[in-house]
Structure 1
Amino acid sequence: MIIDFTIQNFRSIKDETLLSMHVESPRNHLSTHVAYPAGDRIGVLRSIGIYGANASGKTNILLAFQALQNLVVYSGDLKEGEPIPWYDPYRLSDATKKAPVKFELEFFSHDNIRYLYSVSFTHTSIIEESLDFFPTRQKANIFKRTENDSWETIQFGGHYKGGARRIPIFKNNSYLSKAANSAAAADVIRAAYDFFRKDIAILGPNQQVLMSDMNEYEKSIDFTSKLLCLVDTGIARIKVHKNENFSPDFIPDNLPEKVKKVLIERSKLQLFFAHENESGDLEEFEEDRESEGTQKLFSFLPMLQGVLSSGGIIFMDELENSFHPHIAELIIKLFNDSEVNTKNAQLIFTTHNIQLMNPARMRRDQIWFTEKIRGKTQLYSLDSFDKKEVKSNSPFDDWYDDGRFGALPSIDYMSISKLLRPAEDEKLAEDNKNSNFFE
């Protein structure tokens, strides 16, 4: 589970910015929305929603997570001198154009060990990197790397045990990435790395989910079929026919081999969605005959099942573009339900759907806003407002719509309408034409 995420100098986020899922002072309001992965010491939110105007930086929060994930998982594969492709600084200031991007993530791994990973990097080099964990209530360092360190001078804490330490790396390699991919990696390193590699899924608007394990995919179809029947899609059953001789006509060459293999295997599965006809019999339709919304939901549900059963994290950009508001509400409700979400899975989403911002559905600390001021994204929580004025039962949605919390688009209707009005000479010509017509 993610506790805190700090971003600095990434895309529209110039200054140090904190997105926190840590519950500072648990309250009775929707208390089941809070999980306690380490007993009752630290409360962590099961879901949060980020609101804001278009281009305010909502998506950049999720892209920052993705950049950090890619840096940890893939930078170990970079050859000497290759640029770090996830370096994307704030470009509206000369002071930041070439300055390091900085990320810090505090999280719980699958074994409920609390970690703190920090990294800063430029286009060509990792400047600083460190990994700490909490074997007790006190923080202990696993490794620390500074700008002047080579792989031979990286510092290691006393808790780094059971694996090789001095692993050769280039300046553009994350030590965590390189060390964890070694067969001699210590368990404490591997557990932190696996959190980034296995536990995080990031979905952009309208992005389809592609499961890599085809056996698990086929097993999940029965579950998906049952669930689709329960959300009023009209589907009674899904049937699968396998055609070993079928293959897709075209697969882009630039895709990773693993993805190509999955696409080929997936194309051999022909899915038929059965609907009940007027006589009560079942009529089968090919997958592409289903609505776009049903296809998206069908693609997403196996991931939902997998994340809830394993305790992973889903980031979804523009939730309302993927699902009907009632389906979006259902997904959030499942994550917030402690009886369903027993493995402490998390959902982080961006949205414009004000219906979801309701005290019956979300806590104050689950609602976040982005606002862009002079090109810079500001991120803040509803919980930062005066609690005497904005209470747990306040109508968040109505007050947001009224502009009390900011993070709304500024629309100058008079200027827009003036821009779209016909030019005076065009209007005069049209008036003359109409006048001549009636003479």
Structure 2
Amino acid sequence: MLLRASFENFMNFEGKFTLDLSNINKKHSFNKECVENEVISKALIYGKSGRGKSNLGKVFLDLKRTLSNNDDRFENNTNYLNANSSLEDAKFSFEFKFENTQVIYSYNKKDAATLTYEKLEIDHEVEFEFDFREKKLIQARSILENLELDSIDSSYSILKHYYNSTSPGNRNSNVVSLFDFIRKIYVFSPSPNELGIDNLKHSKERIINYILEHDHINEFNSFLNDILDLDIPVVQKELPTKEKNLYFRFKNGNLLDFSSNASSGSRCLLNLFAIYKWTESSISFLYIDEFDASYHYQASMKIIDKFKRISGIQCVFTTHNTDLMNNEFLRPDCYFIIGENQIKSLPYLTKRDLQEGHNLEKLYQAGEFD
């Protein structure tokens, strides 16, 4: 699981910011499913417009880009470094816990594609530390002993080089756990017309094909009905071209094409349903930006409740909806606010001892956490 992520001089984050998911309040005994192994697994992030909620998702995309074999999926951001800073590099550090082992992976970059520094620590022991500018191995243990570094390129991570150059049976088990986790990080931005996944856009037609191919129509109907109380079933119909599509079926038997007749909320739910299904098997860390932009607050509450019940993954949502800042759904240490200079959860933004009975929304609107 991800314990914390720290980053500096990246996009709109000038100083050092840390999202700490390990900083739980053990006094809170309610909504226990939001915390797993003493790490926050379900979180909501608030913040004024322009504070960086969307860019926080790009922090995790950058980590995935650095260690992924699919670099071409990620765009090279022209505003990679903070425009107000004189520092030459963006700095990142990610701390994980795999069973009882702590793994810290850190790196610096001068742009989206160029590393200047990289370091791996396992249980407080430095496995390697490398300066790309000087092409100098500062320190290393046995993990790199069979690795050729003379021709190392600053666009290619040493850790990724080690992983790809080492046979599966000889890879360090903690590095394997790290790669398994990072490759299952996904950043989503659902909208009525397409689903943004890791900077790629997926059309609603593609999502519909996914539902049809995997025979998820009944589950999709349940998903729609649970969240929107929609009493119009969605069915599949084969077209004369042998292609299949989704249709609303009305009580009189009439069919209407789902894609062109569904509300913006229903089309967004189509995308969220795909995410919901993928979380069951192929996601370790899920970041959904403005997940509820097209929904009534009651629908948003039901969405949170559904994802909250999925164990074994970490889900982070961004929102402006203060109706969701409620102990009925999460708990105070699972609500974070991005401020001008920090990211902190509610208990660490007030001197008040937050209890289950407190109205968090009213406290927030009254400026308690400013």
Q: Where on the TM-score scale, by shorter chain, does this alignment land: which range?
A: 0.7 to 0.9
The structural deviation recorded for 1:364 is 1.4
Which segments of 5 or more consecutive residues in structure 1 lack a partner in the other structure?
37-42, 246-267, 407-439
Q: Deviations over 1:97-135 (max 9, x none)?
A: xx21011112346x88643211111137312112233xx
The CA distance in 2 between the partners of 1:401 and 1:378, in whole Å, is 19
Is 1:301 aligned to 2:293, yes or no?
Answer: no
Is 1:144 aligned to 2:115, yes or no?
Answer: no
What SS does the aligned partner of 2:358 have? coil
Residue of structure 1 aligned with 2:188, choices 203, 206, 218: 203
What SS does the aligned partner of 1:321 have? coil
Query: Superposition RMSD on alpha carbons, in Å?
Result: 3.3
The one-letter code sitting in structure 2 at the alignment partner of 1:355 is D
- Are 1:22 and 1:44, in contact at CA under 8 Å, matched by a contact in 2? yes
The number of residue pairs the alignment matches comes to 350
What SS does the aligned partner of 2:181 have? helix
Q: Deviations over 1:71-122 (max 9, x none)?
A: 22258779xxxx96587111123x23xx21011112346x886432111111
The within-5 A match list for 1:127-142 is: 127-133=116-122, 138-142=123-127
The CA distance in 2 between the partners of 1:17 and 1:365, in whole Å, is 17
The one-letter code sitting in structure 1 at the alignment partner of 2:30 is H
The one-letter code sitting in structure 2 at the alignment partner of 1:9 is N
Q: CA 1:214–1:270 in 2, change beyond 3 Å: closer, same or farther? A: closer
Residue of structure 1 aligned with 2:257, choices 274, 278, 286: 286
The structural deviation recorded for 1:240 is 4.8
- Are 2:186 and 2:283, in contact at CA under 8 Å, matched by a contact in 1? no
- Tell me which residue corresponds to 1:12: 12
Greater Rg by CA: 1
Identify, as 1 or 2, the structure richer in strand.
2
- Are 1:3 and 1:22, in contact at CA under 8 Å, matched by a contact in 2? yes
The CA distance in 1 between the partners of 2:189 and 2:66, in whole Å, is 19
Q: CA 1:216–1:227 in 2, change beyond 3 Å: closer, same or farther? A: closer
The one-letter code sitting in structure 2 at the alignment partner of 1:34 is V
Q: Deviation above 4 Å: which 4+ runs of structure 1?
A: 74-78, 83-87, 111-114, 211-217, 242-245
The CA distance in 2 between the partners of 1:348 and 1:16, in whole Å, is 20
Is 1:235 aligned to 2:236, yes or no?
Answer: no
- Tell me which residue corresponds to 1:54: 49
- More deviation, 181-190/286-295: 181-190
- Tell me which residue corresponds to 1:423: none
Residue of structure 2 aligned with 1:120, choices 102, 105, 108: 108
Is 1:316 aligned to 2:308, yes or no?
Answer: no
The within-5 A match list for 1:342-381 is: 342=311, 344-372=312-340, 377-381=341-345
Percent identity between the two aligned chains: 21
- Are 2:109 and 2:116, in contact at CA under 8 Å, matched by a contact in 1? yes
The CA distance in 2 between the partners of 1:217 and 1:118, in whole Å, is 42
Q: CA 1:76–1:358 in 2, change beyond 3 Å: closer, same or farther? A: closer
The CA distance in 1 between the partners of 2:207 and 2:134, in whole Å, is 38
What SS does the aligned partner of 1:204 have? strand
Residue of structure 2 aligned with 1:89, choices 58, 81, 103: 81
Which segments of 5 or more consecutive residues in structure 2 lack a partner in the other structure?
197-201
Q: Deviations over 1:171-205 (max 9, x none)?
A: 122223344344736254444223222x1111225
The CA distance in 2 between the partners of 1:270 and 1:320, in whole Å, is 26
What SS does the aligned partner of 1:308 have? coil
The CA distance in 1 between the partners of 2:249 and 2:329, in whole Å, is 34
- Are 1:58 and 1:370, in contact at CA under 8 Å, matched by a contact in 2? yes
TM-score when scaled to structure 1? 0.70
The within-5 A match list for 1:25-424 is: 25-27=25-27, 28-36=29-37, 43-73=38-68, 85=77, 88-93=80-85, 95-96=86-87, 99-108=88-97, 114-123=102-111, 125-133=114-122, 138-147=123-132, 150=135, 153=137, 155-158=139-142, 160=143, 165-166=147-148, 168-182=151-165, 184=167, 186=171, 188=173, 189-197=175-183, 199-204=184-189, 206=191, 207-208=194-195, 210=202, 218-219=213-214, 221-222=216-217, 223-231=219-227, 232-241=229-238, 268-277=243-252, 282-287=253-258, 288-310=260-282, 312-337=284-309, 341-342=310-311, 344-372=312-340, 377-406=341-370
What SS does the aligned partner of 1:14 have? coil
- Are 1:70 and 1:86, in contact at CA under 8 Å, matched by a contact in 2? no
The CA distance in 2 between the partners of 1:381 and 1:19, in whole Å, is 9
The CA distance in 1 between the partners of 2:265 and 2:343, in whole Å, is 31
The CA distance in 2 between the partners of 1:322 and 1:358, in whole Å, is 20
Q: Deviations over 1:282-306 (max 9, x none)?
A: 4322122111211211222122122
Q: Deviations over 1:310-348 (max 9, x none)?
A: 5522211112214332232122223333xxx23x21211
- Are 2:119 and 2:129, in contact at CA under 8 Å, matched by a contact in 1? yes
Q: CA 1:386–1:225 in 2, change beyond 3 Å: closer, same or farther? A: closer
The CA distance in 1 between the partners of 2:70 and 2:225, in whole Å, is 43
What SS does the aligned partner of 1:67 have? helix
- Are 1:318 and 1:349, in contact at CA under 8 Å, matched by a contact in 2? yes
Q: CA 1:146–1:242 in 2, change beyond 3 Å: closer, same or farther? A: farther
- Are 2:185 and 2:283, in contact at CA under 8 Å, matched by a contact in 1? no
The structural deviation recorded for 1:354 is 0.5
The CA distance in 1 between the partners of 2:288 and 2:4, in whole Å, is 18
